[in-house]
Chains A and B, each alone.
Chain A
Amino acid sequence: MPETKFEPWKDPNEKPLIQFKNVSKRFGTFTAIDNQSFDIYAKEFFALLGPSGCGKTTMMRMLAGFEAPTEGTILLSGRDIAPIPPNKREVNMMFQSYALFPHLSVWENIAFGLKRDKLPADKIAARVDEMLKLTRLERFASRKPHQISGGQRQRVALARSLAKGPKLLLLDEPLGALDAKLRQDTQFELMDIQEKTGTTFVIVTHDQEEAMTVASRVAVMDEGRIVQIATPDEIYEAPNSAYVADFIGDVTLFSGTATNRTPGAKTPVMESPAVETTPEEAETPETETVETPEAVAEIGVPAEPEAPVAPETTTPAEPKTEAAPAKPAHGPQPNALGLWLHDKVWAKVFGPRTDIVRQLPPPSDAERKPKPADPETVSTETTEIPEGGITIDWAEGQPPLIALDGPEVEDGQHVQLALRPEKIGISKTKPDAVNALKGKVIDIAYLGNLSTYHVELENGTMIKAQLANTRRISRRDITWEDEVWVSWTGTAGVVLTS
């Protein structure tokens, strides 16, 4: 991600390249795009992300000119593009199937668009060579599309769509046909090319990881609406709805009723959670004015107050992670020379042991002090909890959850607390954290660089916690059926009101 603060969307003087103004698209009675307005700025790498059928492809096809909006206007550099046919637009598209002309060579494919512009032959040749160089395809210029690999075809399609130097390049699931490894490399290549050419890219994808990797901003779509437009880190760290939180990465959602906390409220952290009740202070009526609400939900439809239900645990496909703090280096010794041998030698050949986790010897948990999950708060956080925020009553017999930041809520409002697995700590003794819940390890998913623990609370709720595997497996001490504490800080979760 370009970290050099490229943020034209924050500059009020910046003129957007693309403007969607109240655009709707209906096919018969089906509404594909529902009254959407948003801007895309020049040189942006803008991602339209959503599940299939959410309207993202329709959005792109309207930009390309293959579909016309039913209502509203789309402006390109301030001009309405509705009357401009696709072959006259300064917009080019890279198709999902690549749509390379099978009867033409790589060179002719790239030259195809330039020839339509009736450019002189030497200019065409120069431009094609430039494109071949950009995409490192010089050696394949005379091959036909069926004589090159999938990755090379992808690059030909990119070169062909870039050859005319469009104002806007549309990419329709450009990496969908590539295998995982190649896809990663190509993502960086795409970003590189985008930066080199300075072209505005709009990418359509259903792969959240891909969108977050390449894009400067991501628009998460659902059923014809854009739910949130934000930078990848904002989307991940501060989703504005349960839908976005759930769609991007892995998340545990707690639903419950919110109560504003009194300033300076203390939570009896050391109390046993099974008997813990809502702190009295939290229920005092004068706390309706909240002091510290900073992040305000953008598309916030207040949820209908439902009865607090048991939280849903959701399992999106691939966890997007940052490393969670490692467990303290204390644990069982490798109990056999063979294990050592495997880790040292065979692991390089056959890969790490995956079966061994089940055989972890019991930990010696007594003497060590557990750490809270979030390293930033380690030093400051004791039993004293900063003032402000809300408590969330979410289940009978479970302590209320404390969220120190988040949107303004009313007492009794139905909210959801979204927690990323890597923000949740897991320990064998009760940690010194704002939120701590007791449970049992049901499942451990070993992913190599990290492990995901599925912890079942006493009321049956499943929580996912993720730890980076900074230690060798044999030295980790949490295993199946262990009684553990999951904990997180007051700022780890995101409070969602919709």
Chain B
Amino acid sequence: MRRVALIIVPYLWLLALFLVPFAIVLKISLSDIELSIPPYTPQLDLSEGWEGIKAFFAALDFENFVFLTEDDLYWKAYLSSLQIAIISTVLTLLVGYPMAYAMARAPNHWRPTLLMLVILPFWTSFLIRVYSWMGILSTEGYLNQLLLSLGLISEPLLILNTNVAVYIGIIYTYLPFMILPIYSALERMDDSLLEAAEDLGCSRLTAFWLVTLPLSKNGIIAGCFLVFIPVMGEFVIPSLLGGSQTLMIGKVLFEEFFNNRDWPVASAVAVILLLILIIPIVLFQRNQQKTREAEG
């Protein structure tokens, strides 16, 4: 009985904060747009009892989803998001792995400080940090001023409002999510494994390929999913740093919702996004479970 009581808390939590909102979004995605408050029909009217519920379900249809397939904006946005998410995940990994490696190899007394530095950006609002990137990347920004004063460029680079700025913003924002799991995997690694590899005839580089990299695999996978999943639906970074040609599904969703006030279509976009993300989320969970089993 007590075990059931204990387990029921997280399930209630999941029900209240995930399943119920999802059901609402799903319901809206099956409704029709209407100029009213709220801007869709049908409404669930419980005062009419069973008949009302039946009428409500009868009015639901999939036309919003069909609409998503008819307009190529949506699937282009999905593909573009996918592309940006994959590329930025790879870039974050390339930047993050050496950092995590250096942290794990740093002297013991340095590690808490380095860890602190990685987490430090979270102490400032995410929005403010993205805005400050606008100040850095704009044509009159600090970066261009620096490059101009150094004489490296003769006229300002156009970075802000391009995909480059989006990538910079994403890598900057999600770097800690990549570093931390890789660091924790590398830090657990026994140094004598590398000595053993060397002793058995490996050079430093082959020892890295054959020992360090395989042993940090789970950290890499975890980090990649932790970056990939949220970047897929990212809205703030592309809308602030990206330009008009930056097409991301998060931005499309926002525009449908607030600019178009087409809640049903926006909900359909959200539902599809969620379905797409379920695959990596399940894979991520499986990886985490495998890591735990290997440790236990």
Please list the residues of chain A having a beta carbon within 8 angstroms of any beta carbon in chain B.
64-66, 85-88, 91-93, 95-97, 99, 101-103, 112-113, 116-117, 146, 160-161, 164
Interface string of B178-204 (1 = CB under 8 A from A): 000000000000101101111111110
Name the prevailing secondary structure of the B interface residues: helix
Contact present for A116 and B215 (CB under 8 Å) = no
Contact present for B199 and A86 (CB under 8 Å) = yes
Chain B residues within an 8 Å CB radius of A112: 197, 200, 210
Q: Which of A95, A103, A164 contacts B196 (CB 8 A)?
A: A95
Contact present for A99 and B192 (CB under 8 Å) = yes
Contact present for B195 and A86 (CB under 8 Å) = yes
Decide yes or no: A117 and B196 within 8 Å by CB, A99-B190, A102-B215 being known contacts.
no
Decide yes or no: A103 and B214 within 8 Å by CB, A95-B192, A97-B190, A97-B192 being known contacts.
yes
Return the chain B residue nearest A117 by Cβ.
B201
Most A-side CB within 10 Å, residue of B197, B198, B202, B294: B198
Return the chain A residue nearest B203 by Cβ.
A87
Chain B residues within an 8 Å CB radius of A113: 200-201
Contact present for A116 and B202 (CB under 8 Å) = yes
Interface assignment of B206: CB less than 8 Å from any CB of chain A: yes
Q: Please, could you name 24 A-B residue pairs with CB atoms under 8 Å apart, sorted by A?
A: A86-B195, A87-B200, A87-B201, A88-B201, A95-B192, A95-B195, A95-B196, A96-B192, A97-B192, A99-B190, A99-B196, A101-B193, A101-B211, A101-B215, A103-B215, A103-B217, A112-B210, A113-B201, A116-B200, A116-B202, A116-B206, A117-B201, A160-B196, A161-B199
Distance of A98 from chain B, by nearest CB (Å): 8
Distance of A470 from chain B, by nearest CB (Å): 47
Return the chain B residue nearest A92 by Cβ.
B199
Chain A residues within an 8 Å CB radius of B214: 103
Chain B residues within an 8 Å CB radius of A102: 215, 294
Contact present for A93 and B199 (CB under 8 Å) = yes
Chain A residues within an 8 Å CB radius of B206: 116
Contact present for A92 and B200 (CB under 8 Å) = yes
Please list the residues of chain B having a beta carbon within 8 angstroms of any beta carbon in chain A.
190, 192-193, 195-203, 206, 210-211, 214-215, 217, 294
Distance of A58 from chain B, by nearest CB (Å): 14
Most A-side CB within 10 Å, residue of B197, B206, B217: B197
A65 to B200: give the CA distance in the assembly, Å: 12
In the A-B complex, list the 9 residue pairs whose CB atoms are closest, starting with the nearest: A113-B200, A116-B201, A99-B196, A99-B192, A103-B214, A95-B192, A86-B198, A87-B201, A93-B199
A66 to B207: give the CA distance in the assembly, Å: 15
Return the chain B residue nearest A85 by Cβ.
B198
Most A-side CB within 10 Å, residue of B190, B195, B200, B294: B200
Distance of B149 from chain A, by nearest CB (Å): 44
Chain A residues within an 8 Å CB radius of B210: 112
Return the chain B residue nearest A157 by Cβ.
B196
Return the chain B residue nearest A112 by Cβ.
B200
Distance of A215 from chain B, by nearest CB (Å): 22
Chain B residues within an 8 Å CB radius of A92: 199-200
Distance of A216 from chain B, by nearest CB (Å): 24
Distance of A279 from chain B, by nearest CB (Å): 61
A99 to B211: give the CA distance in the assembly, Å: 11
A113 to B203: give the CA distance in the assembly, Å: 12
A95 to B294: give the CA distance in the assembly, Å: 22
Return the chain A residue nearest B295 by Cβ.
A146
A445 to B275: give the CA distance in the assembly, Å: 74
A164 to B201: give the CA distance in the assembly, Å: 10
Return the chain B residue nearest A113 by Cβ.
B200
Most B-side CB within 10 Å, residue of A91, A97, A102: A102
